[in-house]
């Protein structure tokens, strides 16, 4: 099955350009998700946009983006309006700068995406950019429109591909100093070796099993038990519904036999 891409465009470094495709590196499709149901009917509950004044549902074609400039006063923007202000970064990842790979603090990293060449022709240009960054131990800094917002991104070479990380804006990251200022700057030097001994005892190679979700596992087990219980109830209900039919057949046979016996008795009389 061919992979489905989240975005397609171009990777550009000065005069070097190559077509690329991008897909999220993470997925939540395997998570247990629930629908809201009507307990009485068992039917799904659907949500819809409703006019806050009239209380009537709003059709999809009548929905629009609105910027509040006062109480109950909005500037309405259509899809065409939003398309007109689209930036070049909608389709091009133009690497503007390179910075040391270890200079970006982890707290700024938001979401990873896999970036790969989109055709055989661009494969060479892609590989050259990737290997040059890998050799110099740097990451590329660029911008890209994601969800109608221009985001700062970094490009990190990883194996044969590139991982594109979207970055949080500076005002989204809280300064750590205000949270850590009351913590002791140095620990008791006599206690540190003891903790180091514990660290050594508990050290192991990284494994994805270390980040498994026990609640997800428990939910799947519970759902499976519920399915089995429901199946058992349906089988029992089916047998119960068949019982009267069996009785009807038996009564019918009995009535036929009774009529035949009655006719024989009359003939004999």
pLDDT digits (tens, 9 = 90+) for 72-96: 788 888 777 766 665 566 789 999 9
Per-residue pLDDT, averaged over 15-37, amounts to 87
pTM listed for this prediction: 0.65
Per-residue pLDDT, averaged over 140-144, amounts to 94
Comparing CA positions, the residue from 96, 85, 90, 108 lying closest to residue 22 is 90
In whole angstroms, what is the distance from residue 123 CA to residue 111 CA? 25
Task: Assess whether 251 and 133 both reside in one domain.
Answer: no
Backbone angles phi, psi at 57, to 5 degrees: -60, 145
Cβ neighbors of 165 (< 8 A, separation 6 or more) are 109, 110, 111, 112, 113, 153, 154, 156
pLDDT at residue 247 above 50? no
Task: Assess whether 153 and 244 both reside in one domain.
Answer: no
Q: Is residue 231 part of a domain?
A: yes
Identify the domain containing residue 254 by its residue range: 216-269
Give the count of domains, the chain. 2
In whole angstroms, what is the distance from residue 172 CA to residue 265 CA? 99
Task: Assess whether 15 and 95 both reside in one domain.
Answer: yes
């Amino acid at each position: 099955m061919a992979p489905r891409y989240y975005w397609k465009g171009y990777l550009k470094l000065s005069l070097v350009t190559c077509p690329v495709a991008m897909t999220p590196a993470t997925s939540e499709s395997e998570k247990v998700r629930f629908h809201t149901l009507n307990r009485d009917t068992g039917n799904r509950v659907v949500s819809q946009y409703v006019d806050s004044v009239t209380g009537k549902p709003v059709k999809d074609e009548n929905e629009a983006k609105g910027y509040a400039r006062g109480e109950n006063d909005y500037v309405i923007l259509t899809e065409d309006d939003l398309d007109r202000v689209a930036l070049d970064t909608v389709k091009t990842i133009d690497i503007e700068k390179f910075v040391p790979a270890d200079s970006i603090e982890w707290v700024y990293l938001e979401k990873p995406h896999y970036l790969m060449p989109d055709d055989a022709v661009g494969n060479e240009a892609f590989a050259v950019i990737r290997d040059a960054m890998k050799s110099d131990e740097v990451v590329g800094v660029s911008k890209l429109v994601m969800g109608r917002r221009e985001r700062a991104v970094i490009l990190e070479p990883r194996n044969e591909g590139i991982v594109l990380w979207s970055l949080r804006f500076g005002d989204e990251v809280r300064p750590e100093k205000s949270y850590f200022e009351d913590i002791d700057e140095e620990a008791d030097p006599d206690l540190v070796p003891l903790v180091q001994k514990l660290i050594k005892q508990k050290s192991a190679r990284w494994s994805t099993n270390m980040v498994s979700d026990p609640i997800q596992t428990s939910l799947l087990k519970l759902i499976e038990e519920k399915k089995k219980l429901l199946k058992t109830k349906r089988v029992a209900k089916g047998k119960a519904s068949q019982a009267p039919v069996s009785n009807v057949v038996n009564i019918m046979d009995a009535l036929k036999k009774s009529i035949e016996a009655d006719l024989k008795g009359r003939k004999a009389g």
